[in-house]
Structure 1
Amino acid sequence: MKSQLFAFAALATVLAAPAHSAAPAPQIDVPLMKRVVETLASDTLEGRAPSTATEPKVLDAIIAEFKAAGLQPGKDGWLQDVPTVEITGSKYSPLTIGGKGAPLSFAYGSDFVAASYRVTPRTALKDAELVFVGYGINAPELGWNDYAGLDMKGKIAVVLVNDPDYQTESEEGPFKGRRMTWYGRWPYKYEEAARQGAAGVLIVHDTFPAAYGWNVVESSWSGAQYYVQSADDGASQTEANGWIQKGVAEKIFAAAGKDFAALSAAAQQKGFKAVPLGVKASLSFDNTARKSVSRNVVGVLPGTTKPDEYVLYSAHWDHLGRCKPDATGDDMCNGAVDNATGVAALAALAKANGAAGRTPRTQVFLAVTLEESGLLGSEFYAQHPVYPLAKTVGGVNMDALRVSGRARDYQMVGGDKSDLTTSFRATLQSLGLKEAPEDHAERGGYYRSDHFSFAKRGVPMYNLKRGLDQFEGGVAAGEAANEDYVKNRYHGPNDEYSPDWDWSGITQDVQLFYTLGRDLATSNAWPNWHPDDEFRRVRDASRGEARK
């Protein structure tokens, strides 16, 4: 308990009024964080692209900081190999539809995109039956199964993006209304279709429920796609996963004698039954595969009395390497904010926890690779955990900490999903801070950072954002800082370190991370997801296995 009191005192010192404690509280080492960001975002590391000649230099720099902070290597050493495969499609045929009425033909890129998760030289689907499966959701905890009674072998699922109740203005509804859930995200829809034995999936793009335009889909799904290597080279996945424009879907449904709008509306109701369209689709393309290995960095502070229970801190070290040049010709994406700040926070948290004394539970500090390629480093760790996920209590993920001032409020990304919310709110209240609603909850931000790889396997994870209401300048200042980053720096050459950065907000973030993480590491609690949450089943199952 004493370490928890120290943590709260330290956080109060930074965030609110001066604190008084019987012993010095651990402080966040800002010079350390400055050094880490300056090093990782330097031109010598060339944007930290994984599986390149500069990766060993990046890893050496992170390990050096972890050692200096007092961490020990993970049980298998400092590094965890992350084998990946890069698959690039080419020579795409049109998507052709036949079986009723005149044949239809749609062009790759402008009308549809597709890729394969399988390591195979050629993908070819011929005369595969199309089945409209609504939102493609199987959620037993909600009594919802769009695949009920279907045999999808050899067939292509046509799926709507987002959740059935996305049009709701509030967060009321079986799928949390306007707030997107995991069931609304496109990776879930591909994964579920594979579990159902489908040969392929075509998600119908619609800008509002997708939260981005077709241009984003087209650019993201053209060129190389990255996946974690699997023992079966992806054979358990569908043969092809793709997207089609909404207008394309409307033409296909019309050719099948179906009303797309009417069926889409029907799919929003519980008990919807999938509809075979009575038409068949064909498409083909070549694949070029390249296998490579990148690495995660794993450091630990072993626990004292419960060393086989674990609290996880994560941040990704990778960035984009060389990228589209700016007006000056600079083509290096240094990734200072995204995510050298997160790695700097990891090192600072390790030092602060070491200074405060070890906790009963083991604390694991994980710098993961390949976040920018689809959360692959965290996904590999979650598939092959160095420390069992069934015995991982929870954790904190840190990604792109905003360079701006201290704030009066914080956001819980993902909303109130688990018991972690209670601790979060109690901590904010004790500090005189407010909880702000998540910005753009309909975009599903919770499912787009590394904590999600652990969450979907049952581990509750904090993903927090400093709010916009800054102590200096109010909401206008917070919005201006956000807009400047998104417009001028995000994933561009201008995301560079500057000695003029305002570190007060980042320090506030790290103090909050410290308090919440240390509370997990010193308590006896096992936080769980709320009963209606999509990850409750897997947490209950994993904890049940752990108790055997």
Structure 2
Amino acid sequence: MKRTLLPALGASLMISACATMPAQDSTPAAEASLDVKTMKEVTRTLSSDAFEGRMPGSPGEEKTVAYLIERFKAAGLTPGNRGSWVQNVPLVEITGKNFAPLTVKGGAQPMAFQFGKDWVGVTYREDKATALKDSELVFVGYGVVAPERNWNDYAGVDMRGKTAVILVNDPDFGAETLEGPFNGKAMTYYGRWTYKYEEAARQGAAGAIIIHDTAPAAYGWNVVESSWSGPQAYAQRGPDAPPLTMMNGWVQKGVAQKILTSAGKDLASLTTAARRQGFRPVPLGLTVSTNFQSDIRKFQSRNVIGMLPGSGAPDEYVMHTAHWDHLGRCTPAPDGDDICNGAVDNATGTAALVALAEAHHKAGPARRSLVFLAVTAEESGLLGADYYAANPVFPLSQTVGGINMDAFLIAGPARDVTVVGPGKSELDSYLNAALVADGRVATPNPKPEAGYYYRSDHFAFAKRGVPMLYIDGGEDLVKGGRAAGEAIAGDYTENRYHGPNDEYDPNWDWSGVMADLQLYYRIGRSLAETSAWPNWVPGDEFRAIRDKDCAASPSGC
């Protein structure tokens, strides 16, 4: 998860609802009976050192899953997977070790860069030893192949055995509006690192190295270092799985500048060229090498699923998602603490599943069934959510929509909420109604260039056509306004996000979180009581998928 940072904006605006959504279908539910004690207890427990950072496949997972089942039972839920509380998710854990320097040759002098400080790298292959040797470096701009946009950053180059050097984000980064070949300042999926590695592999590359830059990445090098060192979990691969590179990695921007200077090139000039249609890859006349070993372990991780059966349409489902996992043990803090506890990210969101389940159970059965899904391996690339969406317990054509909860930053009450990906679906009308009922407003995501909509578990459902809302906490704080909100969010991102300092604080002010939970409750309850099937707005990238899915299912939407 990545926390958004709000700059000062003009007046907040309401997200416009689609005209096809009848007003009565989005009437907000009554206020919920939500227990702040539950939020505190679950967050404190899951983020304690005893859970060791909740790494999938670790003893911390065993404790987490057992605890969630206990809390789901106590909240009044029933097992959600045909009598079982869990869905097994087959993963492989690859832990790199004994990293050699990243060496670059072919320039005036050989260069060697230190693992962690200068570069990080992993292999997705289940190989005990990885050796990238004298692989030719090719600058491929943003690494995008998008025929529908007449764009090919790999045009005319055979990447077999070579290593792609890739810019982070997409070619429209830095745009001031939402107009452009890649949606202007709103990042597309082409800007995500996951896509870049996938495309490099499709091109036959031996390696792929992304140039880290804080602004277009939307996080600092500290996040890259902590997230890409230590054990890495991936989905187990079948016999017909897509190809993989030998090594995927990142380099610091300063390292990239040194490499390109050695090749007689300039990073700024190449970046400018890569933003223009017709860009062609640039062989650098340099080679790169490194090697490392890997410990490999296959295991079953688990999604935890509970539900409240509906009274009128039990075979129609409203989804609530949050990821229970975090990074486990990671780069130590100066005091030696190496447990990434993940209190905010995402013990808070997991606690919210329990608190909402309690509230819905107290309110009695809704017309539709309510599903509470705590997924694994979000930090490894949305693996648990993606596995569920690819192997759904409840058919996606019968899944009405849902809400995702990923990290409640504790900042006190706010006048607004941040909507990530506003204007995408008819779920906006449910949000609008809930906001009016609570006397708050919505602020659209102020950093669409960061691609937050593609960076949490809802995306696994959205790309398969299920409308999902992703709402972040507001930062127009009652005490201090946007300046205070920016300061709190900035402090979290710089000093605690994906690090050992993301720990529970008994002095936290939970009032803002509980106000946000009221919104989630009203939205979920309204969806569960209506007979409407909200869709993506016309022209949205996911609309055709939903329409096709619905047309093929006589019992679904």
CA pair 2-307 structure 1, distance change in 2 beyond 3 A = farther
Percent identity over paired residues: 55
CA distance in structure 1 between the partners assigned to 2:330 and 2:285 by the alignment: 45
Match of 1:133 in 2: 140
Pick closer, same or farther for the CA change 1:120–1:321 going to 2, 3 Å: closer
Q: Is the 8 A contact 1:419 1:530 kept in 2?
A: no
- Choose the corresponding residue for 1:241, options 248, 270, 294: 248
Does the CA-based 8 Å contact 2:417-2:441 persist in structure 1? yes
CA gap of 1:480–1:303, structure 2 versus 1, over 3 A, is: same
- CA pair 501-359 structure 1, distance change in 2 beyond 3 A: same
Structure 2 match to 1:33? 39
- Mark the CA change 1:245 to 1:51 in structure 2 (over 3 Å): closer, same or farther: closer
**1:66 is aligned to 2:72:** yes
Is it true that 1:527 corresponds to 2:535 in the alignment? yes
Alpha-carbon distance change, 206 to 507 in structure 1, aligned in 2, over 3 angstroms: closer
The residue that corresponds to 1:436 in the other structure is: 443
SS at match of 1:236: coil
TM-score normalized by the length of structure 1: 0.82
Q: Could you tell me how far apart the structure 1 residues matched to 2:165 and 2:508 are?
A: 48
Q: Is the partner of 2:298 in helix, strand or coil?
A: strand
8 Å Cα contact 1:119/1:233 also seen in 2:
no
Residue 189 of structure 2 corresponds to: 182
What do residues 227-285 of structure 1 show as CA deviations (whole Å, max 9, x unaligned)? 22223597732222123444555565566666654443232123434445566554443
Instruction: Find out whether 1:385 has 2:392 as its counterpart.
Output: yes
User: Contact 1:47/1:319 (CA < 8 Å) preserved in 2?
Assistant: yes
Is residue 199 of structure 2 the alignment partner of residue 192 of structure 1? yes
Q: Does 1:229 align with 2:241?
A: no
2:403 to 396, 409, 430: 396
Q: Give, in whole Å, the separation in 2 of the partners of 1:214 and 1:39.
A: 29
Are positions 1:8 and 2:29 aligned together? yes
Which among 81, 86, 95 is matched to residue 75 of structure 1?
81
Aligned AA for 2:274?
A: A
Secondary structure of the corresponding residue to residue 8 of structure 1: coil
Indicate the residue corresponding to 1:353 in structure 2.
Answer: 360
Q: What's the counterpart of residue 504 of structure 1? A: 511
Go from structure 1 to structure 2 and tell me whether the alpha carbon gap of 1:476 and 1:54 turns closer, same or farther (over 3 Å shift): same
Tell whether 2:431 aligns with 1:424.
yes
Q: Decide which of 163, 173, 181 is 2:170's aligned counterpart.
A: 163
Q: TM-score, normalised by structure 2?
A: 0.81
Write out aligned runs for 1:359-374 (5 A). Answer: 359-374=366-381
One-letter amino acid of the counterpart of residue 402, structure 2: G
Structure-1 residue corresponding to 2:18 = none
Structure 2 vs 1, CA of residues 2 and 288 (structure 1 numbering), >3 Å: closer, same or farther? same
Task: Indicate if the aligned counterparts of 1:295 and 1:369 stay in contact, CA closer than 8 A.
Answer: yes
* Corresponding letter in the other structure for 2:503: D
1:464 and 2:471 matched: yes
Bigger shift: residues 454-463 or 470-479 = 470-479
Asked whether the equivalents of residues 118 and 234 of structure 1 are also in contact (C-alpha less than 8 Å), the reply is no
Amino acid across the alignment from 1:424: L
Residues 118 and 233 in structure 1, CA contact (< 8 A), matched pair in contact too: no
Give the CA deviation at 1:58: 2.8
User: Does residue 51 of structure 1 match 2:51?
Assistant: no
Asked if structure 1 preserves the Cα contact closer than 8 Å seen for 2:26 and 2:527, the reply is no
Offset of residue 188 of structure 1: 1.5
> What is the rounded CA distance, in whole Å, between the counterparts of 2:279 and 2:335 in structure 1?
55
Q: Go from structure 1 to structure 2 and tell me whether the alpha carbon gap of 1:376 and 1:259 turns closer, same or farther (over 3 Å shift).
A: same
Name the structure 1 match of 2:524: 517
Where does 1:302-381 land on structure 2 (aligned, <5 Å)? 302-320=309-327, 334-381=341-388
Structure 2 Cα separation of the partners of residues 62 and 361 of structure 1:
23
Kept in 1: contact 2:28–2:522 (CA 8 A): yes
Per the alignment, do residues 154 and 397 of structure 1 end up closer, same or farther by CA in structure 2, a change over 3 Å counting?
Answer: same
Amino acid aligned to 1:512: L
Q: How big is the shift at 1:512?
A: 0.5
Taking the aligned partners of 2:216 and 2:487, their CA distance within structure 1 comes to 27
- The one-letter code matched in structure 2 to 1:29 is D
Structure 1 residues 477 and 542: CA distance shift in structure 2, 3 A = same
CA–CA distance in structure 2, aligned partners of residues 473 and 108 of structure 1:
43
Q: Is 1:84 aligned to residue 105 of structure 2? A: no
Shift of 1:116: 0.9
Contact 2:25 2:532 in 1 (8 A): no
Are the aligned partners of 2:219 and 2:493 in contact in 1 as well (CA < 8 Å)? no
**1:410 shift after superposition:** 0.9
C-alpha distance in 1 between matches for 2:108 and 2:279? 29
Q: Which amino acid aligns with 2:66?
A: D
User: Residues of 1 paired with 2:339 and 2:293: CA distance?
Assistant: 31
Q: Please point out which of 440, 443, 459 is paired with 1:452.
A: 459
| SS across alignment from 2:30 | helix
- The 1:546–1:331 alpha-carbon spacing in structure 2 relative to 1, beyond 3 Å, is same
CA positional deviation for 1:520: 3.0
Q: 1:366 offset after TM fit, Å?
A: 0.7
Deviations 1:21-78 (A, max 9, x none): xxxxx42233443443344345554554443335434323222222232222123410
Instruction: State the AA in 2 paired with 1:190.
Output: Y
Alpha carbons 1:119, 1:234 under 8 Å: kept: no
In 2, distance between residues paired with 1:70 and 1:162? 44
What's 1:113 paired with? 120
Q: CA distance change for structure 1 residues 333 and 200 in 2, over 3 Å: closer, same or farther?
A: closer
Q: Deviations over 1:158-200 (max 9, x none)?
A: 3221111111233433334334332212111112222344332
**Structure 2 residue 318 is the aligned partner of structure 1 residue 297:** no
- Give the secondary structure class of the aligned counterpart of 2:319: strand
Distance 1:111 1:45 in 2: 31
Does the 8 Å contact 2:140/2:280 carry over to 1?
yes
CA apart distance, 1:480: 5.7
Tell me the amino acid that sits aligned with residue 471 of structure 2.
L
Residue identity matched to 1:36: V
- Once the two structures are TM-superposed, the CA of residue 91 in structure 1 deviates from its matched residue by 4.3
The higher relative CO (CA closer than 8 Å, separation ≥ 6) is in 2
1:56 partner letter: E
- The Cα shift of 1:429 comes to 4.1
* Structure 1 residue aligned with 2:14: none
Q: What SS does the aligned partner of 2:29 have? A: helix
Judge which range, 454-463 or 276-285, deviates more. Answer: 276-285
Aligned AA for 1:349? L
Offset of residue 481 of structure 1: 4.8
Q: Distance in 2 between matches of 1:332 and 1:254?
A: 38
- Alpha-carbon distance between aligned partners in 2 of 1:487 and 1:246, rounded to the nearest angstrom: 18
Q: Which amino acid aligns with 1:156?
A: T
Say whether the 8 Å CA contact 2:304–2:373 is kept in structure 1.
yes
Q: Which moved more, 1:500-509 or 1:150-159?
A: 150-159
The alignment yields a C-alpha RMSD, in angstroms, of: 3.8
Q: Which sits farther off after the overlay, 364-373 or 327-336?
A: 327-336
Q: Which moved more, 1:38-47 or 1:132-141?
A: 38-47
The residue number in structure 2 matching 1:492 is 500
Q: 1:453 to 1:279 in 2, by over 3 A?
A: same
Give the AA of the match of 1:84: L
Corresponding residue SS for 1:189: helix
Q: How many residues align?
A: 530
AA matched with 1:346: L
Unaligned segments of structure 1, at least 5 residues: 11-25
Q: CA deviation at 1:488?
A: 6.6
